[in-house]
Amino acid sequence: MIRKPWQSTLAIIAASIGLGSLANAQELTLAQCPPVVQSAIRNNSQGGTLEEIKLVDRDGASLYVAEVGLGENRDLKMYITADGTVVRSRQEIDFKTVPVPVRRTVLGLLPEGAVVSDCDVETAEGATKYVVEFMISPTRERKLTLGADGTVLSEHEKEKN
């Protein structure tokens, strides 16, 4: 698909709000969304249950953020433009389902005794990334972001309270 320049701008907006606070967001029902946004949500919900939709306005651009429960404590978050384009999605997945190169890299970096605590697949502008979190001690967590080929794109550690 060929993206228009404004679609890339909206993808950047979506990425910039990330998983952070959506304090300026307005909660909506599915019926309150434009028909194309409703279709995008229905077509990409993977049979899950719609839990929440928020309308976010950033620099005059509207973005719909839909959260879908997929069962088994998994969820999906989609960032959708007013024209119904899903510019970003993030889905919680089982670590066993990540591509072999990603799993191989993570297991090679996993300290002895560490346990994977969370795994997400994120898609934005046609690129897929995997975000894997694991506990390296009872109070320390590491987060890796990897490309589909297993390349580490970023790595962060933080103290857990």
Fold of 5-88: Nuclear Transport Factor 2; Chain: A, (3.10.450)
Q: How far apart are CA 29 and CA 65, in angstroms?
A: 12
d(CA 146, CA 67): 23
- Predicted pLDDT of residue 2: 41
Residue the block writes with tokens 């589909």: 148
The type of residue at 142 is R
Buried b (16+ CB within 10 A) or exposed e, 78-113: bbbbeebbbbbbbbbbebeebbeebbebbeebbeee
Task: Note the pTM of the prediction, 2 decimals.
Answer: 0.77
Which residues does the chain have with pLDDT short of 50? Answer: 1-22
Q: What is the predicted pLDDT for the residue at 59?
A: 79
Q: What's the CATH number for 95-159?
A: 3.10.450.40
Q: What is the pLDDT of residue 23?
A: 53
Which residues in the chain are classed under CATH 3.10.450.40?
95-159
Query: Rounded to whole angstroms, how far apart are CA atoms 91 and 120?
Result: 5
pLDDT for 13: 47
- Amino acid letter for position 27: E
According to CATH, where is 3.10.450.360 located in the chain? Answer: 5-88
